[in-house]
Amino acid sequence: DLYNLRHIGVATKVHGVIGKPISHSKSPHLYNAAFKSVGFDGVYLPLLVDNVSDFLNTYSSPDFVGYSYTIPHKLDGLRCCDEVDPIAKAIGAISCMVKRPNDGKLIGYNVDYLGAIAAIEEQLKDSNGRSKSGSRSPLYGKLFVVMGAGGAGKALAYGGKEKGARVVVANRTYAKAKDLATKVGGEAIPLSELEKFHPEEGMILANATSVGMKPKVDDTPIPEEALKHYSLVFDAVYTPKLTRLLREAQEAGAAIVYGTEMFINQAFVQFERFTNLPAPKQLMRDVLARYT
Ligand code: ATR
pLDDT digits (tens, 9 = 90+) for 257-291: 999 898 899 999 999 999 999 999 999 999 988 88
Q: How far is residue 20's CA from residue 81's CA, in Å, rounded to a whole number?
A: 19
Question: What pLDDT, in 10s, does the model give residues 216-262?
Answer: 999 999 999 999 999 999 999 988 889 999 999 999 999 999 998 98
Q: Which CATH superfamily is domain 113-257 in?
A: NAD(P)-binding Rossmann-like Domain (3.40.50.720)
- Distance between Cα 92 and ligand 1 center (Å): 16
Confidence of residue 79 (pLDDT cuts 50, 70, 90): very high
Question: Looking at residue 244, what is its pLDDT?
Answer: 98
Residue 1, pLDDT score: 81
Q: How far is the CA of 191 from the centre of ligand 1 (A)?
A: 11
Could you identify the atom of ligand 1 that is nearest to the CA of residue 150? 6
- Least confident piece of the model among 30-44, 96-110, 125-139, 153-167: 125-139
Report, as an integer, the average pLDDT of 162-166.
96
- Strands annotated E in the chain: 13-19, 42-48, 64-69, 83-84, 96-99, 106-109, 143-147, 166-171, 187-190, 203-207, 230-235, 255-257
pLDDT tens per residue across span 17-30: 999 989 888 899 99
CB 122 within 8 A of CB 146: no
pLDDT of residue 132: 55
Ligand 1, atom 11: closest residue by C-alpha: 209
* Minimum-distance ligand 1 atom for the alpha carbon of 236: 3
Q: Kindly provide the ipTM of the predicted complex, given to two decimals.
A: 0.97
Distance from the alpha carbon of residue 237 to the mean position of ligand 1, in angstroms: 12
CB atoms within 10 A of CB 215: 8
* Tens digits of residue pLDDT in 40-61: 999 999 999 999 999 999 999 9
- Report the separation in Å between the CA atom of 171 and the middle of ligand 1, taken as the mean of its atom positions: 8
Q: pTM of the full predicted structure?
A: 0.82
* Residue 130 pLDDT: 57
Q: What percent of the chain has pLDDT above 90?
A: 79
CATH class name, domain 5-110+262-291: alpha beta
Question: Letter for the amino acid at 266?
Answer: Q
Burial class (CB in 10 A: 0-12, 13-18, 19+), 284: buried
pLDDT of residue 187: 98
Residue nearest to atom 16 of ligand 1 (CA): 172
| Residue closest to 25 by CA, chosen among 34, 16, 33 | 16
Domain 5-110+262-291 matches domain 113-257 at the CATH topology level: yes
Which is it for strands 83-84 and 13-19: parallel, antiparallel or unpaired? Answer: unpaired
Pocket of ligand 1 (CB under 6 A): 148-153, 171-173, 176, 191, 208-211, 221
The stretch 127-138 carries a mean pLDDT of 72
- Can 74 be counted among the known catalytic residues? yes
Residue identifier of the C-alpha nearest atom 2 of ligand 1: 151
Please state, in angstroms and rounded to a whole number, the distance separating the CA atoms of residues 44 and 46: 7
Q: Where are the domains of the chain?
A: 5-110+262-291, 113-257
